[in-house]
Amino acid sequence: TTTTTTTAANSTNAGNITSNTVITLGTPIFIENDKTVNLRSSVVNGSRILEASYVGNGAVKEVSFTAKGFDFIATKPDGGIYSQGRTTIMTKDNNERADYVFQAIAHYDADGRLRGNGAAFFSTNSTGKLAIVKNLVIVYKDEATRGGNIKTVGWEWK
């Protein structure tokens, strides 16, 4: 269980947004473990990117799911990593599904692991177990090994 608290700096140009607000993320509501199953390089608008596809499983708000998705990964000139993609999650009985799109920034640590932070935006037409993710937004941390194992932990953004 992890609790993260963030305090926004006081701003003189905050408009209608309350300044100096404490945001508590609380306990993670999302955990996903994936394995990269395909990786290929391509060129988009003159830039080389990696396209990764993956499969996995996890739980969101205590509802178990399987997952499959893809990620477009670009290395920035400063060595940082930018990624964006889409994932489909399905209940274990395959009766319900939801999708999320995500964007993240990351970097390689000295141990060779890729560590990142991002946001995911969920959508579904489900009226059953996965209805809980309709319009859900999570902020997350993830970690990928050189072997293609990825762990993502996320908190609901309200």
- Among 95, 104, 110, which Cα is nearest to 150's? 104
Query: What residue ranges in 45-112 does DSSP mark as E strands?
Result: 47-60, 63-75, 81-91, 97-108
pLDDT tier, 143 (very low <50, low <70, confident <90, very high otherwise): very high
Tell me the two tokens of residue 79.
Answer: 């060595």
User: For residue range 69-119, what is the model confidence (pLDDT) as tens digits?
Assistant: 999 999 988 889 999 999 999 999 989 999 999 999 999 999 989 999 999
Q: Which residues pair with 95 in a beta bridge?
A: none
**CA neighbor of 136 nearest in space, from 105, 101, 103:** 101
